[in-house]
Structure 1
């Protein structure tokens, strides 16, 4: 989906100091208040699932047909933010409807056990004189919301999370810029009949306590196959934490369910640099899938931009965690002064309970430009949901440069993978590992495991990389007649794992 440029263009006024701006009327609430508690959204989702699916009404055509350039000519005036001019430690902005967002999302403020809807008002937006005339009617509403807080400087509210479009949302640790996205739910991703995109149709925002760095919002999800009630507790910081508790209600049988889905972009890196004529050495929001499986194994799977759609499933039971990482953190890794890919966050997902049997699924879609999100990963349970089933789940998402919680059994990390042809034939694969206390000074003590499902691989050699200080494993691969090969490599010491398990799917050009 082409969404990253829209978020970038709408962020310009989000960090303006409040004192520098004149007074504005602000977001307004309707007079009618309704009771609200922790079961309100669950009850609505349960009742909604008992009815046939009905899509929300479309906003007027004059909004839906806005061009990208026209949509950039309307923006939220941060003087109108929710809680502006109060001692509440958060600010909430709203996004206009239109362009990629043809249906309104209902927003509510929760305080004192009651909820009141946020009314739609064109007056909270600024426009240029090039913004076209658009129809105003009762179908209009906001398309999403942005959260801001005083992250680094008193009086300056910087954004840290956005919810907009289907069930998409994004977060960043302090000082980072937006990259990959999360979703409330994925359905039928990569299936031949097409993917189903559930929508967050309504949000309820709890008023945070004075001095709190925590924000709680509730969301109602709806789609032809199911409904859902979500509670998301967000705590900003150097690593942004989101705690998600969700209850799903199946309208129909769901055989392909994606829990805790992440969506990202990977165009190229050192594994297939030759396919792109570009001054930059790499272009991606994420460079690898990290899995800590239920058996205790830590797997690193570098991402790929294949020439054909490819789907990988990593079977597991009760995974400890998984996520999309961005391990390259230096400017020189990308050499991009505008995109600043080295400041994009990684996201690590930790289940809140045993998830049983299933697989971490990775979908890699061919892409020729960096504007396309072409990477999806999620947990797919083995057991389908039957119509009428209720499914509860919880998990946390941590967004940051290195958000994976440190544990005693974390092995030496893979920090880069490079591939290229040899003049005498075959491919050289070079895997760089980080240095660490467990890496012996004498690398001859390190045992090498290299396997391939097809073709022929050499035994591999381990040498110290003088720049990183860590070991590099290099081996040669001859495809012979193979068009696809699954690689597995690992460094071991004294019969025990020293490094992460490196997995990679090679496909013939």
Structure 2
């Protein structure tokens, strides 16, 4: 288990450090046949004639959840949040942290490689989540019991209703040591979830769905309301679970297949059924935090050189181009779009792995994993959208990225998609291209040159890797830089003898408009680097 406490994230831009959680857990009830429409309120059941043998219960599959979601989308949305007793709703941050899971209550403890632990309702988590176990295609609910938890100084433990339910759960697995079950995955808060690989600590988050993120109408946050988790074999090294999602805008069915490892992977299959036309549907959304880095354009009084869970958005387009967009903490909300067709992958990446660049012994930002989305099948035309929200503190998640399909999302028309989510420390499958390892920005003023405009900006980009280290300084490496606004002063690229890479620098003389900048290295007409992109806006 990681030494850093878990920090679930309800929404970009909201306080995350206050969401430190105590552990939770639950035991399993006896197995009962799964009956679609009974526990899930999906409608009346077919009756058996007197004296006739009972029909066998249907085996639980992804299609079972799909039909539940389809039926749910035909009904008016209902929020279960009001069911939580008032004492739990009134809990302070510290009171909620005092509710802790009893480790000996973990499901499958001592029997499987995987273990399940459960989170208590209360504080910010006021929407009950139903959790079921699956064995041989049959489902049984996990029943809440107060004796699963240590309530610390809280005094209401014995007065809570027997059918209270849970806020979410986490999955443990011996990732790093054979005799200790580390945290592998967490599902908690709306449709948020996280996965971890070996030697990683929590940083980025994923969500099941994003609806109208950063839209003037306001964002709708879908939530997972029910889960079904397949009981694995004693030595099984993968775990399958299903989830039912609901919101005012849509219902959805999800299947997750978790593959623990150095790079833990979740295979995600989903079917979404909109209740209404959705202007912007975000598929495979990722969430992160960027406070400041070496490209800082805002000043923060902090001893650390950099503070972020991810320092860039990276995309491998359907055409095979690799794009690197450094993240920023803007002064105003920014939404950037990258049009594509059948994207190969995109991710929020923590590229800088040098502890010396962070100097943080508590947060250990250099060990935060990157999250990569790899579409399964063709996603067609659309765009990767990046949202950057201003923040004055590192406790706020202020970065979101997701895929938006070009095809309109209409009420009553189902949408299917699948992808792989990977939690990694190193970028997977990148070709031998030079990469941008830093973006630095400063004033373009030169001592003794008062004629230069003071608003001019000086950009310095450092490229490393690929062919660069084998190239002599006299090789004709060219930096191709373009802008959509303002004027570029002479672009210079030369070998950096200290790093073995190449440095590119240029000045941007703005004209008052936002400038979309691009830079790529070429050698005799051949592209030898990823494409650096950046949005510069006037202060």
SS in 1 for 2:87: helix
- TM-score, normalised with respect to structure 1: 0.93
How far the C-alpha of 1:297 sits from its partner, in A, is 1.2
Please list, as runs of the form range in 1=range in 2, the aligned pairs for 1:222-261 lying within 5 A after superposition: 222-261=246-285
Partner of 2:489: 458
- Contact map agreement 1:435 1:471 (CA 8 A) in 2: no
Name which one, 1 or 2, has greater alpha-carbon Rg.
2
Partner of 1:62: 87
Please list, as runs of the form range in 1=range in 2, the aligned pairs for 1:331-370 lying within 5 A after superposition: 331-370=355-394
Alpha-carbon distance change, 79 to 467 in structure 1, aligned in 2, over 3 angstroms: farther
Give me the whole-angstrom Cα distance separating, in 2, the residues matched to 1:139 and 1:120.
Answer: 6
Give me the whole-angstrom Cα distance separating, in 2, the residues matched to 1:238 and 1:105.
Answer: 30
* Residue of structure 2 aligned with 1:420, choices 423, 442, 465: 442
Partner of 2:110: 85
Alpha-carbon distance change, 466 to 339 in structure 1, aligned in 2, over 3 angstroms: farther
How far the C-alpha of 1:240 sits from its partner, in A, is 0.8
Q: Over residues 303-322 of structure 1, what are the superposed CA-to-partner deviations in whole Å (9 max), with x where a residue is unaligned? A: 11111111111111111111
Residue 431 of structure 2 corresponds to residue 431 of structure 1: no
- Contact map agreement 2:435 2:466 (CA 8 A) in 1: no
Alpha-carbon distance change, 333 to 10 in structure 1, aligned in 2, over 3 angstroms: farther
Q: Over residues 40-97 of structure 1, what are the superposed CA-to-partner deviations in whole Å (9 max), with x where a residue is unaligned? A: 11111111112121222421121112111111101112211110131x1101111111
- Contact map agreement 1:435 1:468 (CA 8 A) in 2: no
Alpha-carbon distance change, 454 to 133 in structure 1, aligned in 2, over 3 angstroms: same
Indicate the larger mover: 484-493 or 272-281.
272-281
Give me the whole-angstrom Cα distance separating, in 1, the residues matched to 2:281 and 2:270.
Answer: 14
Give me the whole-angstrom Cα distance separating, in 2, the residues matched to 1:477 and 1:131.
Answer: 63
Alpha-carbon distance change, 157 to 507 in structure 1, aligned in 2, over 3 angstroms: same
Partner of 1:46: 70
Q: Over residues 396-431 of structure 1, what are the superposed CA-to-partner deviations in whole Å (9 max), with x where a residue is unaligned? A: 01101114224xx45221111111114434222111
Partner of 2:340: 316
Please list, as runs of the form range in 1=range in 2, the aligned pairs for 1:121-136 lying within 5 A after superposition: 121-130=145-154, 136=160
SS in 2 for 1:307: coil
Give me the whole-angstrom Cα distance separating, in 2, the residues matched to 1:434 and 1:131.
Answer: 58
- RMSD between superposed Cα atoms in Å: 1.9
5+ residue gaps, structure 1, are 15-25
Partner of 2:429: 405
How far the C-alpha of 1:110 sits from its partner, in A, is 0.5
- Contact map agreement 2:432 2:466 (CA 8 A) in 1: no
Please list, as runs of the form range in 1=range in 2, the aligned pairs for 1:93-104 lying within 5 A after superposition: 93-104=117-128
SS in 2 for 1:213: coil
Give me the whole-angstrom Cα distance separating, in 1, the residues matched to 2:157 and 2:120.
Answer: 14
- Contact map agreement 2:251 2:272 (CA 8 A) in 1: yes
- Contact map agreement 1:30 1:119 (CA 8 A) in 2: no
- TM-score, normalised with respect to structure 2: 0.88
Partner of 1:21: none
Partner of 2:319: 295
* Residue of structure 2 aligned with 1:263, choices 284, 287, 294: 287
Indicate the larger mover: 496-505 or 26-35.
26-35
Give me the whole-angstrom Cα distance separating, in 1, the residues matched to 2:289 and 2:421.
Answer: 18
Residue 17 of structure 2 corresponds to residue 5 of structure 1: yes
Partner of 2:28: 28
SS in 1 for 2:515: strand
**Number of aligned positions between the proteins:** 493
Give me the whole-angstrom Cα distance separating, in 1, the residues matched to 2:164 and 2:77.
Answer: 21
- Contact map agreement 2:119 2:166 (CA 8 A) in 1: yes
Give me the whole-angstrom Cα distance separating, in 2, the residues matched to 1:455 and 1:273.
Answer: 18
Please list, as runs of the form range in 1=range in 2, the aligned pairs for 1:482-501 lying within 5 A after superposition: 482-501=512-531
Indicate the larger mover: 102-111 or 132-141.
132-141
Alpha-carbon distance change, 237 to 468 in structure 1, aligned in 2, over 3 angstroms: farther
Give me the whole-angstrom Cα distance separating, in 2, the residues matched to 1:119 and 1:343.
Answer: 37
Partner of 1:188: 212
Alpha-carbon distance change, 39 to 506 in structure 1, aligned in 2, over 3 angstroms: same
Give me the whole-angstrom Cα distance separating, in 1, the residues matched to 2:237 and 2:155.
Answer: 37
How far the C-alpha of 1:3 sits from its partner, in A, is 6.2
- Contact map agreement 1:436 1:470 (CA 8 A) in 2: no
How far the C-alpha of 1:135 sits from its partner, in A, is 5.1
How far the C-alpha of 1:121 sits from its partner, in A, is 1.2
Please list, as runs of the form range in 1=range in 2, the aligned pairs for 1:158-197 lying within 5 A after superposition: 158-197=182-221
SS in 1 for 2:180: coil
Give me the whole-angstrom Cα distance separating, in 2, the residues matched to 1:488 and 1:441.
Answer: 23
5+ residue gaps, structure 2, are 1-10, 35-57, 447-453
Give me the whole-angstrom Cα distance separating, in 2, the residues matched to 1:294 and 1:311.
Answer: 22
How far the C-alpha of 1:32 sits from its partner, in A, is 3.5
Partner of 2:50: none
SS in 1 for 2:124: coil
Q: Over residues 344-385 of structure 1, what are the superposed CA-to-partner deviations in whole Å (9 max), with x where a residue is unaligned? A: 000111110111111100111111001111101100011112
- Contact map agreement 1:173 1:240 (CA 8 A) in 2: yes
How far the C-alpha of 1:37 sits from its partner, in A, is 2.5
How far the C-alpha of 1:331 sits from its partner, in A, is 0.9
- Contact map agreement 1:361 1:377 (CA 8 A) in 2: yes
SS in 1 for 2:175: coil
How far the C-alpha of 1:476 sits from its partner, in A, is 1.5
Alpha-carbon distance change, 77 to 270 in structure 1, aligned in 2, over 3 angstroms: same
